[in-house]
Structure 1
Amino acid sequence: MTTFDDRERAFETKFAHDTEMLFRAEVRRNKLVGLWAAELLGKTGDEAISYAHEVVQSDLHEPGFEDVVRKVAADLGDRSSTDAVRAKMLEFLPVAKAQLMTES
């Protein structure tokens, strides 16, 4: 092994770790958005948690987060707008990252 090989392996490992952490943060963000939307819909307890899981699952349909925005905005109807949902997603991403960092 050369120093170059060691550095390359270290960069690949870091890239894989960073990619996994971003995925986990996005899943957590979607859960937080789901819980926020559930509150607006008047859901509590297990019903709110179940709805948050539906929101997380909705992100698996296509790349990006627009599928989540469409689902949540459609479910909320007049209670919120797509722009408000996007704003909440932006607000909750650093919260999700912070939560994951404290759990590690």
Structure 2
Amino acid sequence: MTTFDDREKAFENKFAHDAELRFKAEARRNKLLGLWAADLLGHRDEAAEAYAQTVILADLELPGDSDVLDKLARDLDGRVTRDVIRDKMADCMRQAVEEISAQTS
């Protein structure tokens, strides 16, 4: 293999690894969001976990975060604003990235 081939393969591996980490972080973020929303809705224990799963699944509907934001805005209507949800999404993403990074270190 040439040096160029080695570099290309390394780049492909890094891209795949980064994509996997991003997917894991988004799934973790969505679970954290779901648990947060479940608490606001009064769900506990198994009901909270089940609700969090619905948030994770909602992210598979459309590319991007709009599907999760829309679901939470509908479900939390009157409890919090979309801006609060967006802020919580950002907080949960930071937490998810930290947790994933700690697991891979």
Residue aligning to 1:97: 97
How many residue pairs match? The answer is: 104
Identity among equivalent pairs (%)? 51
Distance in 2 (CA, whole Å) between partners of 1:14 and 1:94 is 21
1:68 matched to 2:68: yes
Normalising by structure 2, we get a TM-score of 0.96
Partner of 1:83: 83
Shift of 1:17: 0.3
Corresponding position: 1:21 with 2:21: yes
CA RMSD of aligned residues (A): 0.7
Superposition map of 1:23-62 within 5 A: 23-62=23-62
| Paired letter, 2:57 | Q
Segments of structure 1 that go 5 or more residues without pairing to the other structure are none
**CA offset at residue 103 of structure 1?**
2.1
Distance 1:81 1:34 in 2: 16
Deviation at 1:94, TM superposition (A): 1.3
